[in-house]
Homo-oligomer: A and B are copies of this chain.
């Protein structure tokens, strides 16, 4: 048993995904939902705010809570949420695979600290991985992890999933992630290890991830072949 508000959020979200509550229709009112789920009105409001922040609904004062989500126009890669490579691949039903090209311990110097956002002298694990879909290397990740936050990390674990290890074994909770999307020229290294065809530019996602302790433990640059890249996001003005 978890949080009440989160269970309600998931239930409402699934009903929207299944079309029980259709696009441009209203979900039941707050007062009805409090009776349906037998909880307080504040708890319902919390659930609805999560639905709103994920772009599923738009509350309209005096009228109701309108569904503004349409299943058909959904992105095929990254969502406005933190998602593991394995999670994203599984959700899209792709045959995915990771190859680790580099695994080394380094100490951050001034330049590296500037690039990654870590502090000089931080002990880091430098990781280079290629993500393979249906035999084609489409994504190249260059990551730096804070060694003190990921003790025991090995190349074999990285080959599987760093996040699964951090959450499952180390019981770390991943919370906030700042991401920046850019478009950049492909480097010689990109061409050497990825299946780039004739593409000379890549979509680059740079992200800094914080755990529940508020420590930044990851700085990753993810370089995607453009034809397989999509980034989705929901913004709410003033909220």
Residues of A whose CB lies within 8 Å of any CB of B are: 6, 24, 50, 52-53, 55, 58, 60-61, 66, 68, 70, 73, 75, 80-82, 117, 173-184, 199-203, 208, 210, 212-214, 216, 226, 229-239
Residue pair A235, B177 in contact (C-beta under 8 Å): yes
Subset of 9 A-B contacts with CB under 8 Å: A55-B176, A66-B214, A68-B176, A68-B216, A73-B208, A82-B236, A178-B232, A181-B232, A183-B226
Closest 4 CB pairs of A and B: A183-B226, A66-B214, A181-B231, A82-B237
The reply to whether A181 and B178 form a contact with Cβ atoms under 8 Å apart is no
Q: Are B230 and A181 touching (Cβ within 8 A)? A: yes
Judge whether A180 and B230 touch: CB under 8 Å. yes
**Residues in chain B near residue A58, CB distance under 8 A:** 175-176, 210, 212, 214
- B177 near A229 (CB under 8 angstroms)? no
Question: How long is the Cα–Cα vector from A237 to B231 in the complex, in angstroms?
Answer: 16
Q: Looking at the complex, which one of B80, B183, B213, B237 makes contact with A235 (CB distance below 8 Å)?
A: B80
* Complex Cα–Cα for A55 and B212 (A): 13
- A217 nearest CB across to chain B (Å): 12
Shortest Cβ distance from A118 into chain B, in angstroms?
A: 12
Residues of B within 8 Å of A178, CB to CB, are: 55, 232-234
Instruction: List residues of chain B with CB within 8 A of the CB of A231.
Output: 180-182, 231, 233
Known: A177-B234, A183-B203. 5 other contacts (CB 8 A): A68-B216, A175-B237, A182-B230, A183-B183, A233-B233
